[in-house]
Every structure is written in C-alpha cells, then in structure tokens.
C-alpha cells in the first residue's frame, strides 16, 4: 500500500474540486478546455525544470512510496502533480470570482506584488550559488514583473494562493516527510536556504506561487479567447 502513497496524495487533493466542478450554477467543467490548454503548457515548462533538477540531484524521490512507473527519470505521480495541483488552484480561483465580488487584496495587491518582485530578486542574487533558491526566486520575480507590466489584476490570484496555503502545507508536508518514516520527495539542502516550514523548504512556497499564477493567467487567457 505504501507504493501508492504519492498517488493517493494527488487524488486526495483533486477529488473534492473535481466533484464540485459540476455545481450547476457555476460549473467549472465547462471551462475544462481552457484549463487543459493552460495546464499542459505550464506542466511542460515545470517538467523540464523537474527533469533537470532530478538529474543533477537538487531533489529526488523515494521509490518506496511510488508505483514504479516513470516518464524518463520522473515518477508518474510527479507528472500527475502538475495536473492535479493546478486543477485545485484554478478551480479555487474560478470559484472565488463567483463567490466574492470584492476581496481584501483589491487595493493591496500592487504593494504585495512589487514587494515580492524586489525581495525575490535580491534574494536570488545573494544566493546565486544555490540552484533551487536562485532559479525559483529569479523566475518568480521576473514573472511577477511581467504580470505587473501587463497590468493584470492579481487580487484574486493572491486571494486564491492565501486560501490554498493550509492545504499546501498539509499535502506538501506529507510529501516532505510529515506523518511518514521517510520523505517522498527529498531535497539537497546545499541547493536551498535550509529554511523549512515544518518539513517544507521555504522555496516550495515560491515555487508553488509561480506554478499557480502561471496556470491562472493562462487559464484566463484561453478562457477569454473561448
């Protein structure tokens, strides 16, 4: 049963959003085509990144918790991660736009955004020799700069991210060893800051923000074209 652990984490995350997608008054399943196009583009980018980091030992996977099915050097479960987690996040964003006509980030998101751009850029430069830290922080800073340049309203992006955080801590906590004898995903701490939220490297929270925002932005783009 342990060999299905990572797979079950993915399924547990996506199960409720998947069922709720058929809510008749605001059905997310009608937006699946836009989501799939956005998700595939982002997944390809992150899977290339994932492949490279796994190959050079920035992180890796504990085979004890895997089904043993691989795509190149990546477990099937890791590939599914980049579909299941974005689905949950984009569904949350789609739902919050329906539930909340205004939110607490309506006026504050530019301040948050520019602060993150500056802090992440400086942190990336100061930690240029730590691959996970520097690449994650610089990429996120650059992408947030792009969104600011495009004048995209990020208020619901940040609201969705904030509300997803507790579930992120739970699911990613399991992946990094909470409630388990060994972590499902291990990290080479010479390539990160060594700062952890429970068992989770602090970089994961920024990596997750980049993953979420890219999926939401492309979802909006394809949805508007539809």
Q: What is the pLDDT of residues 68-86, one digit of tens each?
A: 999 989 999 999 999 999 9
Query: For residue range 5-21, what is the model confidence (pLDDT) as tens digits?
Result: 999 999 999 999 999 99
| Residue 178: predicted pLDDT | 83
Query: For residue range 24-36, what is the model confidence (pLDDT) as tens digits?
Result: 999 999 999 999 9
- Report the sign of the C-alpha dihedral through residues 147, 148, 153, 155, in that order: positive
Mean pLDDT of 51-79: 95
Query: For residue range 160-202, what is the model confidence (pLDDT) as tens digits?
Result: 999 999 988 899 999 998 888 899 999 999 999 999 988 999 9
CA torsion, points 136, 173, 9, 11, in degrees to nearest 10?
Answer: -60
Q: Which residues lie across from 197 on neighbouring strands?
A: 200
Dist. CA 107–CA 79, nearest whole Å = 36
pTM score of the predicted model: 0.95
- In whole angstroms, how far apart are CA 135 and each of 52, 83, 132? 12, 22, 6
**How would residue 226 be classed by pLDDT, with cut points 50, 70 and 90?**
confident
| Residue 104: predicted pLDDT | 82
Count CA atoms closer than 13 A to 131's CA, side-chain side. Answer: 14
Mean pLDDT of 55-78: 95
Dist. CA 21–CA 31, nearest whole Å = 9
pLDDT above 80 (res 1): no
Q: pLDDT exceeding 90 applies to what percent of the chain?
A: 87
Average pLDDT, the chain: 95
- Asked if 213 and 157 count as a contact pair (C-beta separation under 8 A), the reply is yes
**How would residue 218 be classed by pLDDT, with cut points 50, 70 and 90?**
very high
Tokens in use for 218?
Answer: 């492309």
């Amino acid at each position: 049963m342990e060999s299905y652990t990572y797979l079950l984490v993915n399924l547990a995350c996506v199960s409720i959003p998947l069922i709720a997608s058929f809510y008749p008054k605001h059905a997310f399943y009608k937006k699946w085509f836009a989501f799939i196009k956005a998700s595939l583009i982002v997944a390809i980018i992150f899977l290339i990144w994932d492949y490279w980091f796994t190959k050079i030992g920035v992180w890796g996977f504990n085979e004890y918790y895997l089904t043993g099915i691989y795509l190149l050097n990546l477990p099937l479960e890791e590939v599914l991660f980049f579909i299941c987690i974005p689905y949950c996040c984009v569904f949350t964003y789609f739902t919050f736009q329906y539930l909340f006509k205004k939110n607490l980030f309506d006026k504050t998101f530019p301040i948050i955004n520019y602060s993150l751009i500056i802090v992440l850029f400086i942190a990336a430069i100061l930690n240029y020799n730590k691959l996970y830290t520097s690449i994650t922080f610089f990429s996120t800073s650059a992408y947030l700069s792009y969104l600011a340049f495009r004048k995209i309203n990020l208020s619901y992006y940040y609201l969705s991210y904030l509300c997803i955080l507790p579930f992120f801590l739970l699911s990613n906590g399991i992946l990094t060893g909470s409630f388990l004898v060994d972590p499902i995903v291990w990290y080479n701490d010479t390539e990160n800051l060594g700062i952890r939220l429970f068992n989770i490297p602090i970089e994961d929270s920024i990596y997750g923000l980049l993953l979420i925002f890219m999926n939401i932005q492309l979802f909006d783009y394809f949805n508007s074209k539809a």
